[in-house]
Structure 1
Amino acid sequence: MAFKKAVKGTILAGGGALATILGLSQFAHYRRKQMTLAYVKAAENISEPVNKDPPSREAQILTLRNTPEFDVLVIGGGATGCGCALDAVTRGLKTALVERDDFSSGTSSRSTKLIHGGVRYLQKAIMKLDIEQYRMVKEALHERANLLEIAPHLSAPLPIMLPVYKWWQLPYYWVGIKMYDLVAGSNCLKSSYILSKSRALEHFPMLQKDRLVGAIVYYDERKGEGERESDRDRNINDETESLIGCLLHAPHGIEPTTQACALTGNRTETSWFVA
């Protein structure tokens, strides 16, 4: 009797799980279809392509000096600053961006160039039952997929190998990385997998061989390859902002200094006075 109940419960649980998976897959298909229709509708509203050249540096500086007020002033022309300026100007805000040295010459030039969802954050979400950490990983993985779709010339999947030196860590890390793939869902770049010790050493001969058990390979996304791609990414973003209507200013032909940008004057309820 107990055996029949166990079998019945297993069948019901399996059927429920199967129905849930089918329902989620149908919902994902519906969302993708709606997104495709939205792209088609947006394309129909485009009357003519943008084919004009961005304004000259002198013209932009003159406009900066002669414009009494901007809706948004972005200080710093790194990855975050350029992204904020682009987002602001595409929302119809009168936007200006100023940079002390050259665009992406500071922190943005020294980053790992990884576009990742955050494996560590997912670990915290699971270990500490933190729903906010999970949502952050989910959103980051979604944006990772968006970037790869809209800018495949600036980003690409990057395999990352994690060497393992203890037997118990192999299944532990494997489960964690598979959870990372699962959270990504349809946005998963490539499925993670396990490498044997010999294969890991074949790829990376300089690995420490003592007590090496194997390795786990998972995929995230990289942005560019070195300085050339970083400059290309930056220039494309700057030109896009200029064509749309953002004013850009960075001093050319000067040596980097230790002076910082400064806000002077008084803060009012509606604006900042900037010198």
Structure 2
Amino acid sequence: MAEDTINAAIKAHNLKAGPSRTVGLFLQGGKDWSPTLYIRLVQDYGLESEVAQHLASTYGDKAFEVAKMASVTGKRWPIVGVRLVSEFPYIEAEVKYGIKEYACTAVDMISRRTRLAFLNVQAAEEALPRIVELMGRELNWNDAKKQEELETAKKFLYFEMGYKSRSEQLTHHSEITLLPSDVDRYKKRFHKFDTDQKGFITTVDVQRVLESINIQMDENTLHEILNEVDLNKNGQVELDEFLQLMSAIQKGRVSGSRLAILLKTAEENLEGRVPIPVDRSCGGL
């Protein structure tokens, strides 16, 4: 497309020019790239396979420079490559490499350098504090500058990347138009978390169920997930709010609700448990 544009300009203005010289030129990182380059990253540096594939496809042979900047995880595996968010293969070393490539703002980092803002706005918001901390350390930002970058990036996510429209998908005026059978089904799902029949669930309730099925999630993330559905902002999700959410999902007004996905996944895990027979062990284990 760029070549066609230049050719059109040459023709329109009767310019003198030879044939294109850029055809066949490698992009930066393309010279020594190969489809199996990521394997060397895994073997030589101890990166996760998913992270290694991401680095190889994004940076080409420059992925080795990123890998050299990667921090030790403190785990048996992967050895290096601390992720910015657990669900995506972006690592902290990419922030340092981005600064080396003249990235100077948190907005630049979450949008153009890592593309997290385009892939998942919640994941980008989750990664922001750590990104700002790393950039502040490398660029000698003071606390005021860090706060400014954090607020600017959050506004970018809110107004330009769809976070605002997402937060407005569910409101106090959302009607519940579920069939009676659906209401019963969702009430049963809700009460798997609200075991005390309080009429609401908190992060403590969700954390308890997640731990029982061996799913780990930090408290801050849980607060964010519940806050998306907590319409009156009282720190808990009431049954009516949950039914409003499920009704809005059925109508197509809400998509990708993290709470709905989390509760459904937990319910399936709980129902999929097979009780261990004890009749042949005299009632013991």
TM range (shorter): under 0.3
Question: Which structure has more helix as a fraction of its residues?
Answer: 2
Q: Which has the higher contact order (CA 8 A, sep 6+)?
A: 1
Q: TM-score, normalised by structure 2?
A: 0.24
